[in-house]
Amino acid sequence: MTITITAFESSPDRGRGQARDMRVRWALEEVGQPYDVRLVSFEQMKAESHIARQPFGQIPTYEEDGLVLFESGAIVLHIADHYAGLWPDGINVRARATAWVFAAQTTVEPPILERETAEFLERNQSWHEKRLPMMEQRIEHRLDQLSDRLGNADWLDGAFSAGDLVMVGVLRRLNGTPLLTGYPNLLAYVARGEARPAFKRAFAAQLAVFEGRPTEI
Ligand code: GTB
């Protein structure tokens, strides 16, 4: 059965791979599964029919053969479980890759998200400039730790996995900030992820939405 995901009809980043359907698109490209995209407006995301799929009125969602799923990390894990290509061999390796998916979304991403949200919503508050260095320190603390762990390796734990896919997606949220520049190994890690043909296909498909072209490539 065809896989259908939801994505922004009009993404604030103009389709530059930041909205989280990118992680789902990338995972599907890695495992070679075709998919349809249902584009939703902000209004449609808050409609009952969408809330039934995503209780918080957000994208992405995933539908396949009676399964309706939300949360990008859970969707990536489901794709990795059902199709070959995102789990290196071995149950322990797979457990560790799962840990990296969680680490990316629950340990590394929150301080990045906090800063991003503040930039969007609190920029004009008198205290914003004072608060910014504290938020950036929290990000840098996580980047220090991640950089130490990655060292000179290509990927976080042996072969490329779902954990790397989600971690690269999280680190890409720092694009346009100077925060990654002090970490040559993390910059190279993100570049390696972005150089993967599956990433490029997913990115092109998301960008095509903004440019008004068909999503199929
Ligand atoms: N935990 C959920 C998941 O991982 O699936 C979070 C989903 C989520 O945050 N969805 C966002 C959304 O639907 C889009 S991805 N927001 C609309 C709303 O809440 O009303 C977050 C996002 C959007 C846009 C950019 N950008 O343009 O740079 C970056 C990140």
Verdict on whether the full-model pTM lies above 0.85: yes
Stretches where the chain sits below pLDDT 50 are 215-217
197 CB-side CA count, 13 A: 4
Please tell me the distance between residue 92's alpha carbon and the centre of ligand 1 in angstroms: 31
Q: Are residues 202 and 192 in the same domain?
A: no
Q: Are residues 64 and 52 in the same domain?
A: yes
- Is 176 close to ligand 1, i.e. is its CB under 6 Å away? no
Please tell me the distance between residue 125's alpha carbon and the centre of ligand 1 in angstroms: 23
Q: Are residues 115 and 190 in the same domain?
A: yes
Q: Are residues 128 and 41 in the same domain?
A: no
What whole-number distance in Å separates Cα of residue 202 and Cα of residue 122?
32
- Is 71 close to ligand 1, i.e. is its CB under 6 Å away? yes
Per-residue confidence (pLDDT) for residue 54, from 0 to 100:
98
Q: Are residues 15 and 106 in the same domain?
A: no
Q: Are residues 74 and 126 in the same domain?
A: no
Structural domain boundaries, residue 190: 91-196
Per-residue confidence (pLDDT) for residue 211, from 0 to 100:
87
Does 168 fall in a domain? yes
Does 215 fall in a domain? no
- Is 12 close to ligand 1, i.e. is its CB under 6 Å away? yes
Express each pLDDT in 132-161 by its tens digit. Answer: 999 999 999 999 999 999 999 999 999 999
Paired tokens of 55: 């209780």
**63 φ, ψ to 5°?**
-130, 135
Find out whether 125 and 186 touch, Cβ atoms under 8 Å.
no
Does 149 fall in a domain? yes
Q: Are residues 76 and 146 in the same domain?
A: no
Question: Helix-strand-coil percent breakdown of the chain, rounded to 5?
Answer: 55, 10, 35
Per-residue confidence (pLDDT) for residue 216, from 0 to 100:
45
